[in-house]
Amino acid sequence: MSEFQLDQLDLSNVEADSGESRLRAGRYVCRVDDASLEKVSTDPNGRRIQVKFIDNSGLGFIGESINIHLPKSDKGTAIGKKQLLTLLTHGGDSVPTKPSIEKVRGIKAVGVNVIDEVYYKDGVQKMGSKVDSWHPYFAPDSAVNLGAAPMSPPPTQGTNGASAPVPASTFDDIPF
């Protein structure tokens, strides 16, 4: 076995990180950057839609898992179906009762409520953010008080006086 040589490392098939920041608590108008149908880790027959939202003002991104089929939890399935219907409705779909991954991927503007989340990693309390489970989405034309919530740390100022994303080191990503 040969010793590792950095100059022999090939990064041609690796995609660089975009450098986006995770959205902090607040209300944002976002587009769907990507969506996929995936298995639920706790039930091989369960399904969820994994969605990545990008803020339309360039402030960052947030991910969300919408459980749409949980054979072991009628309540969980009902909550997920309501979240998906709300996403499609406020995302402007003309027939939100007939969902598809393509429809979710096609959302160009939907209001997204982001809340703070406390979690533990390696026994240490951390602060992150997530999409609000109970009131996740709203119509983008009804948006008021967009951006970070007043209780969140103040945004840094960009060179043109606009809000700039919070550095990635300020908030940890939620590990999942």
| CATH class, range 22-144 | mainly beta
In sequence order, which residues have a C-beta less than 8 Å from that of residue 46 and are 6 or more positions away? 39, 40, 67, 69, 70, 71, 72
The pLDDT confidence band at residue 38, using thresholds 50, 70 and 90, is: very high
At residue 139, φ and ψ (nearest 5 deg) are -70, 130
The domains of the chain are located at 22-144
Whether residue 79 has pLDDT greater than 80: yes
Token digits for 117?
A: 């989340």
Q: Between the CA of residue 45 and those of 72, 95, 122, 176, what are the distances in Å?
A: 9, 27, 30, 19
pLDDT of residue 148: 58
pLDDT class for 141, splitting at 50, 70, 90? confident
pTM: 0.72
Q: What does the pLDDT average to over 38-50?
A: 94
Residue 68 has pLDDT above 70, yes or no: yes
Arithmetic mean of pLDDT, 41-65:
94
